[in-house]
Chains A and B, each alone.
Chain A
Amino acid sequence: MIDSAVPMRVGEPIIELRHVDKWFGEFHVLKDVNLAVKKGERVVVCGPSGSGKSTMIRCINRLEEHQRGQIIVAGIELNADVKNIEAIRREVGMVFQQFNLFPHLTVLQNLTLAPIWVRKLPKKEAEEMARLYLERVRIPEQADKYPGQLSGGQQQRVAIARSLCMKPEIMLFDEPTSALDPEMIKEVLDVMIELARDGMTMVCITHEMGFARTVADTMVFMDRGEIVERGPPAEFFANPESDRTKLFLSQILSH
């Protein structure tokens, strides 16, 4: 059951959150969150800081544990069973705001580490694949450098390639461009747009609304631990229903 690599029909949910609640101590971060993401669907999550959006996607690969409700990813329910968690993490790639590349390894080693040790790929095969993905994120010439020698935008593209090398079913993006200088945001977004075109299932937290309009199938707005509103981007941006959404959109779109 772990190998749910059986191709799922488009339209079937690959991520499901049912009545999920989570507390940090006494603080109720996620309140009855329900979300279904279909295979191939691109979901963009936005909301003010502290609204629980980051916590929500970190629950999907169990970097955070939820305390109530059900989370089912690629047909596997997330619970205390470690075997399941590692199986899910193999299928779910994640890109962080701070890149989190391994600074002591070269770019190529960053990319091949998990395929070699987790997927048990022969080193040569893993390196060939890694070079292919570096090509795709347009930095094949940086393979032998260390992360510290790259710009922020290049590091984030390496991080995306590193996740892709595990051939994940789903990619999670946790504010991937928030730590970048403005001139580097585009090079990262371009890579993500390309990924979306290839049909990757994506859940993406971002405040880049131009990007959201381009790729999102569904917009989700979160505030104070709840999903306040969701819908296709055209409606979401044109006439949001709730006042909170209106306020938020007016704040981030005004400048």
Chain B
Amino acid sequence: MADIGATQQLPLPVERPRPVTASPLAWLRANLFNSIPNTILTLAALYLLVVTIPPVFRWAFIDAIWSADSGRACRGAGACWAFIGEKLRFILFGRFPYQEQWRPLLAVVTFVTLVLASCDRRLWGRRLAALWLAGLVVVGGLMWGGILGMSYVEPERWNGLPLTLILSVVGIIFAFPLAILLALGRRSRLPAVRAICVGYIELVRGVPLITVLFMASVMLPLFLPTGMTVNKLLRAQMAFTLFAAAYLAEVVRGGLQAIPRGQYEAADSLGIGYWRRTRLIVLPQALAVVIPPLVNSFIGGFKNTSLVIIIGLFDLLGAANAALTDVNWQGFYLEAYVFTAAIYWSFCFFMSRYSQMLEREFNKSRQR
């Protein structure tokens, strides 16, 4: 272990030479044209940009039609953003009663606020958990209604963005702890626990999500006693959670394997029991190591929610698809998909930035 100047002080610090600030031209030469292959790559990249950017820009902005009364009046060389304007509320909230759509909007705002609040590390701990619990209750109340004078809305009509957020956020909240237990179980010394965890992970991981969703929606009711029904959204949520847990479990296990044996021995030698050792010493280190693949799985899971359309639930993408079936506004596929893609992208981009922030936060201890 290097150990420079930790105990003794150097008498006079010699100033480190500052890098010379180069002119833009010098920067270009040093970074983009410093060798023949690099010059070729630079020119090729420039060519690609010139070919692709202007037409896309022209389509999306210059030739775009921003307002129109019907689809017929909206045909031109550019994008028809009037379609999005017309269908915005349907794409975002689907068949949720039109007059009541402030409720799903407020639910989305609640989710976003909760996620943003989670970024502040000072709030971490019991307070944040309480905040989340309260937030989920608020979201549930807003969507369901039947209280405080809000009319009841059956879950079949929770469409669009709120459905996507509910499926992914609630899915992650339940899948993550389950994944940790599965990962710990897979490394357990108890053969029965290990066998159950390995069996579960390998079984669920080896099946496409669509199959799991189908089973939850078609087969599960067959096994339930007659008269007992579990609502479709809940079944999809369960399928989604159980599926995500299997994937996350393997990511968490990867982190557990990165913890040296000495950490376990040090904890054992201090008389710290299994659960405390896991919570205070093993997991904080193991999870910090796997933040990138963990967030990768979260992002994948978030986008996987769009598969629920298979069993007749209309999430954001499903609502966009449904919007396309309007006879008056036919054929605006590109606009609908670009718009939904932008929403998906902004959520995923946020997650990826958040993951970078977490990494910085957790790696503080490794800085010298």
Residues of A near any B CB (own CB < 8 A):
61, 63, 86-87, 89-90, 92-94, 96, 98, 100-106, 113-114, 117-118, 146-152, 154, 159, 162-163, 166, 181, 184
Chain B, interface size category, equals: 20 to 34
CA–CA, A150 and B3, complex, Å: 8
In the complex, chain A residues whose CB is within 8 Å of the CB of B366: 103, 146, 148
CB-contact partner of A146 in B262, B268, B284, B365, under 8 A: B365
CA–CA, A162 and B270, complex, Å: 9
In the complex, chain B residues whose CB is within 8 Å of the CB of A94: 265-266, 269
CB-contact partner of B266 in A100, A146, A184, under 8 A: A100
CA–CA, A101 and B266, complex, Å: 7
Interface residues in B269-283 (C-beta closer than 8 Å to A) = 269-273, 276, 280-281
CA–CA, A165 and B27, complex, Å: 57
Interface residues in B247-288 (C-beta closer than 8 Å to A) = 260, 262-263, 265-266, 268-273, 276, 280-281, 284-285, 288
CA–CA, A92 and B268, complex, Å: 11
Q: A98-B262, A102-B266 are in contact. Are A117 and B272 (CB under 8 A)?
A: yes
Q: A63-B265, A117-B280, A148-B365 are in contact. Are A104 and B288 (CB under 8 A)?
A: yes
- A sample of 13 more A-B contacts (CB under 8 A), given A103-B366, A104-B362, A166-B271, is A87-B271, A102-B263, A102-B266, A102-B285, A103-B365, A104-B284, A104-B285, A104-B365, A117-B280, A118-B276, A148-B368, A163-B269, A184-B3
Least CB distance, B9 to chain A, in whole angstroms = 13
- Whether the Cβ atoms of A113 and B271 lie closer than 8 Å is no
- Whether the Cβ atoms of B285 and A86 lie closer than 8 Å is no
Whether, in the assembled complex, B48 has its beta carbon less than 8 Å from a beta carbon of chain A, the answer is no
CB-contact partner of A166 in B1, B263, B270, under 8 A: B270
- Whether the Cβ atoms of A90 and B271 lie closer than 8 Å is yes
- Whether the Cβ atoms of B3 and A151 lie closer than 8 Å is yes
B262 (CB) vs chain A CBs: closest residue: A100
In the complex, chain B residues whose CB is within 8 Å of the CB of A101: 266
B285 (CB) vs chain A CBs: closest residue: A104
Whether, in the assembled complex, B52 has its beta carbon less than 8 Å from a beta carbon of chain A, the answer is no
Whether, in the assembled complex, B51 has its beta carbon less than 8 Å from a beta carbon of chain A, the answer is no
In the complex, chain B residues whose CB is within 8 Å of the CB of A166: 270-271
CB-contact partner of A100 in B3, B265, B273, B285, under 8 A: B265
- Whether the Cβ atoms of A181 and B3 lie closer than 8 Å is yes
- Whether the Cβ atoms of B266 and A96 lie closer than 8 Å is yes
CA–CA, A86 and B288, complex, Å: 28
- Whether the Cβ atoms of A151 and B7 lie closer than 8 Å is yes
Annotate B174-218 by CB proximity to A: 1 below 8 A, 0 otherwise.
Answer: 000000000000000000000000000000000000000000000
Residue among A61, A86, A104 facing the most chain B CB atoms (10 A cut-off)? A104
CA–CA, A101 and B1, complex, Å: 14
Whether, in the assembled complex, B6 has its beta carbon less than 8 Å from a beta carbon of chain A, the answer is yes
Q: A148-B367, A152-B1, A166-B270 are in contact. Are A113 and B262 (CB under 8 A)?
A: no
Task: Give the top 4 A-B pairs by smallest Cβ distance, nearest first.
Answer: A100-B266, A100-B262, A89-B271, A94-B269
